[in-house]
A and B are shown apart, each in its own frame.
Chain A
Amino acid sequence: MAAFIIRRLIWTIPVILLVILMTFVMMKQIGGNPFRRSERPVPPQVQENLERKFGLDQPWWQQYITYVKNTFTFDFGPSLSAPGRDVNDYVTEQFPRSIKLGILAFIWAVLLGLPAGIIAALRPNSFWDYGVMFFSNVGFAIPSFLVATLLIYYFAVKFSLVPTSGWPLGVWELDSRVLLPSFALGLLPMAYFARLVRGSMLETFQQDYVRTARAKGLRYRRVVGVHVLRNSLIPVVTAAGPLLGFLVTGAFVIEFIFGIPGIGKGFIDGVRNRDYALVMALTVLLSVVIIFANLIVDILYGILDPRTRART
């Protein structure tokens, strides 16, 4: 297992290099002047000073080397688009908030999605099954920004149960402001989990070993708890890794609507304003998150499924 993990970790280096290269090429391809933010032209002298300050007067390969160096020394320098801000600020201050949002949404998904799926699978074609599947479809179909806006309207504006927006800034700090955004973000994975668990459990119920277990006279609860549930969770875990990565990184819209100071806005502004330093830092960061999420999934596989363990 250790060798496997080390091998995977080493592999992340070429992946990150490739991510930097592709991001770099794409950012250069779309063109546009990072220093021109309004209709106002940038006087040539100002443009020159800015280009010198941010190293944009250098040949492209030198700029690429600089980005690579910055990435591996974790010093991304000042932001091009937000004069006076350091890109490292986004990474150290704002990224943890996005992580918190993603994890909370994930908790909603697990807390509600898994039980819902299990209930549906235990009573297929019942009222509960149809109910769960209905909500799962709804969760899939309705975009999160609509859910978010509705939640704010009813829970914050109309009934004043929670504030409309804002976010507890401390890493471990939680208050009522986290409820709506994390729920809105968690709705899709919730629906996804419910569906996945139901399908996977129904399939497992058909397996021979389940029939054997029941034939042996094991109690229903034990059959479900040990044999069915455990094996049904493998596809869920497969989906969960990338999903967690997606939740941590893909919450731009939710962050925007709820005024959460995460990395979402930085990412969007970074691309819009051609802030090479910011985009580079955030892309690398997000790739690292996804890589690690997948790594954890692979490790969990080994624990849940003895067959993979045998192979490694």
Chain B
Amino acid sequence: MRRKTWLLLLASLVAVLSLGAAGCGGDDDDGGEAGQDTGAATDGGGQPAAEQVMTVAWGADPPALDPGIAEDTTSSNILLNLMDPLVKLNPDTLEAEPALAESWDVEGPLVTFHLREDGTWTNGDPVTAADFEYAWKRVLDPELASGYSYQLGGIKGAAEYNSCESNCAALRDKVMVTAVDDYTLEVELTSEQPWFIQQASHHVFLPVHQATVEEFGAQWTEPQNIVTNGPFMLESFEHEANIDLVKNPDWRDADSVSLDRINGRIIIDGVTRVQAFEAGEVDALDGAGLPPEEIERLKTEPYYEQYPALGTYYYGFNTKNISDIKERQALSLAINRKIITDNIDRTGRDQATGMTPKGMPGFDVINPDSEWLPPEGDMERAQEIYAEVANPHSQINLFHNDAPGHKEIAVAVQDQWSELGVQTTIKAQEWAQFLEFLGPPPNDEVDVYRLGWIYDFPDALNGLEVFICDDPPGSTNNSTNWCEPEYDALVDEARATPDEDARWEIYGQLEDLMFGPDGGLPITPIMWYTYPNLENDAVRDTFFISPLDQIDFTKVVVQEG
């Protein structure tokens, strides 16, 4: 009798709760909107859907949608869809193409942008050259303390203003970016900088609406305050939850935009992101990475996509410790990169044969195809060369940061090096401490370290110039202690070479100085990055992630399932 009462109580409680669950679930289950059929259907159909709405899962929270201070890729990605930059990069060739600037002239260090006259802010104001002048000087204002202010460092007077302590107003006027008239923006650079036009596609060069920024201060990016000038508008934004964009019907080229609405869900956990996609709640992910343990399965699914990225994953040698070039050659040769990419990393990355990654403009000319970096390694030759090393290390310290995946690769390398008779001690560190440990100059304990380089803009120099001499100490990001005056001279020469083909030749020589037959091998690149992604049939034909991690939503068309 008594037992029955309790039983009944419990049963009814469970029933009520599960009923509640089912009821709510039913109501909420219409989240997929455009195209639930992530499953077996193979053909996208080809007909644009009546409802042009898609849901994308962002892998990180954009801290702020202020082009002056944003530093992360998610903010950058969203900003470039909210705003209209001067120039855009062609997603395939990465060449600069007209956007808000319909043309530009370059005469030595003098660059003149001619703006279109039909650019408007979302409050109706015209977009003028003065908006750019204001925005760029704002980025350089030391009080804003923009992390990307150095991107504008090539402009005459920029560095002086950015580092001013007194007399700032006068220095501000000496920054050589000038709105000559409403639609002409004149920029004087410190020297001829052939990459400046491409660089101007970076989000830090976006204009801001002066009156809005001044009225609302730090709050100007809130959805109710923000004024933008691009194809989409910010409708709502809740940090770490969702960010929704809607089409800007008044944008100058609105007719070319299909999407009416982009619902953004911010899902930071990789496993949850995959589950949200497979449950049909989102149409595509943003290329922020898939959980390694799921890759194997996902790769066989029809909704798996993969894009080349401009980034290189490498092992650096502390050449002060591993000072014998033969030892570096042997260690580099002993690494089987194919095993690492195919069996350990499994995200479809390419084995690196040099620093400059595939997909970089001029890759075929630069041709980083080093004999010291054979994709499957060359243990025989490695052992031969290792035998010639005068004082080989029997024990090597390999440092990596404790993010997922690095340890597994380190273990594989440890195993491969053991065939040379080298005993590798793997040491993992937390990211911020790791970076401090690497200096430069690196801590003496470091023999080999793992790092990666993600390119800021599509020019091989951006990665190659990392390895110039660290002189004075700590002035660069070169933790290898490798210093080759000839290399530095070539980097300087490349910086002063406006002609692309000629510059690519120099990049080839730079690669050679590092990885050629007599190269110094300060690092041994392991693989080139990719962006693995999931996209359902409704969007996969038009959804594209550029090598610089940008998604251009103006090109996306939702297809009939």
Contacts and interface: CB of A to CB of B under 8 A. Distances in A.
Interface of A: 30-46, 48-50, 52-53, 78-79, 81-86, 89, 93-94, 111-112, 115-116, 118-119, 122-123, 128, 149, 152-153, 155-157, 160-167, 169, 175-177, 179, 220-221, 256-259, 261, 265, 272-274
Contact of A83 (B24, B63, B271, B278): B63
Interface of B: 2-3, 6, 9-10, 13, 20-25, 27-29, 31, 61, 63-66, 69-72, 142-143, 145-147, 149-150, 153, 159, 162-163, 218, 221, 238-242, 265-269, 271-272, 275-276, 278-281, 430-433, 435-436, 451-454, 456, 475-477
A31 B64 contact: no
A256 B24 contact: no
B145 A42 contact: no
A104 to B, nearest CB: 12
A233 B67 CA distance: 56
A265 B64 CA distance: 16
B269 A163 contact: no
A46 B281 CA distance: 41
A288 B435 CA distance: 34
Given A32-B436, A43-B150, 14 more contacts: A33-B436, A36-B432, A39-B435, A46-B145, A84-B221, A115-B9, A162-B28, A163-B29, A165-B272, A166-B242, A176-B24, A176-B28, A221-B2, A259-B266
A259 B435 contact: no
13 contacts: A31-B436, A36-B432, A45-B162, A50-B145, A52-B145, A53-B143, A83-B66, A83-B70, A161-B22, A166-B241, A257-B269, A259-B268, A259-B272
Contacts of A220: 2
A220 B163 CA distance: 82
Among A83, A179, A221, the most chain B Cβ lie within 10 Å of the Cβ of A83
Contacts of B242: 166
8 nearest A-B pairs in the assembled complex, by CB-CB distance: A84-B64, A32-B432, A176-B24, A82-B63, A261-B240, A161-B25, A49-B145, A53-B145
Contact of B25 (A39, A45, A176, A274): A176
Nearest to A78: B218
B476 to A, nearest CB: 7
A215 B124 CA distance: 87
A46 B153 CA distance: 11
Nearest to B159: A45
A183 B153 CA distance: 53
A85 B64 contact: yes
Nearest to B14: A112
B145 A149 contact: no
A39 B63 contact: no
Contact of A156 (B2, B24, B159, B279): B279
Contacts of B10: 115-116, 119
Contact of B238 (A122, A149, A169): A169
Contacts of A34: 432
Contacts, number: 196
B432 to A, nearest CB: 3
Contact of B431 (A82, A94, A272): A272
Contacts of B436: 31-33
Contacts of A161: 21-22, 25, 29
Contacts of B269: 165, 256-257, 259
Contacts of B275: 152-153, 156-157, 164-165
B298 to A, nearest CB: 14
Contacts of B69: 83-84
A261 B31 CA distance: 19
Contact of A157 (B66, B218, B238, B279): B279
A39 B454 contact: yes
Contact of A259 (B218, B267, B454): B267
Contacts of A175: 24, 27-28
Contacts of A52: 142, 145
Given A119-B10, A157-B278, A83 B71 contact: yes
A193 to B, nearest CB: 14
Contacts of A81: 63
Among A32, A156, A165, A261, the most chain B Cβ lie within 10 Å of the Cβ of A165
A234 to B, nearest CB: 22
B279 A45 contact: no
Contacts of B268: 256, 259, 265
A264 B433 CA distance: 22
B278 A273 contact: no
A256 B280 CA distance: 20
Nearest to B238: A169
Nearest to B147: A46
Contact of B272 (A45, A155, A257, A274): A257
A169 B451 CA distance: 38
Contact of A36 (B13, B276, B435): B435
Contact of A94 (B65, B239, B280): B239
B2 A33 contact: no
Nearest to A128: B3
Given A49-B142, A53-B145, A78-B218, A176 B21 contact: yes
A37 B280 CA distance: 33
A128 B239 CA distance: 45
A85 B239 contact: yes
A246 B452 CA distance: 38
Contacts of A177: 28
Contacts of B431: 32, 272
Contact of A115 (B13, B218, B451): B13
Given A149-B271, A257-B272, A38 B454 contact: yes
A262 to B, nearest CB: 8
A17 to B, nearest CB: 27
B240 A169 contact: no
Contacts of A115: 6, 9-10, 13
Contact of A40 (B61, B239, B276, B477): B477
A194 B433 CA distance: 43
B373 to A, nearest CB: 20
Contacts of B432: 30-34, 36, 272-274
A153 B65 CA distance: 34
A89 B218 contact: no
A38 B438 CA distance: 13
Contacts of A30: 430, 432-433
B6 A119 contact: yes
B189 to A, nearest CB: 18
B56 to A, nearest CB: 14
A273 B278 CA distance: 32
B66 A162 contact: no
Nearest to B75: A84
Contacts of A112: 13
Nearest to A30: B433
Nearest to B438: A39
A84 B68 CA distance: 10
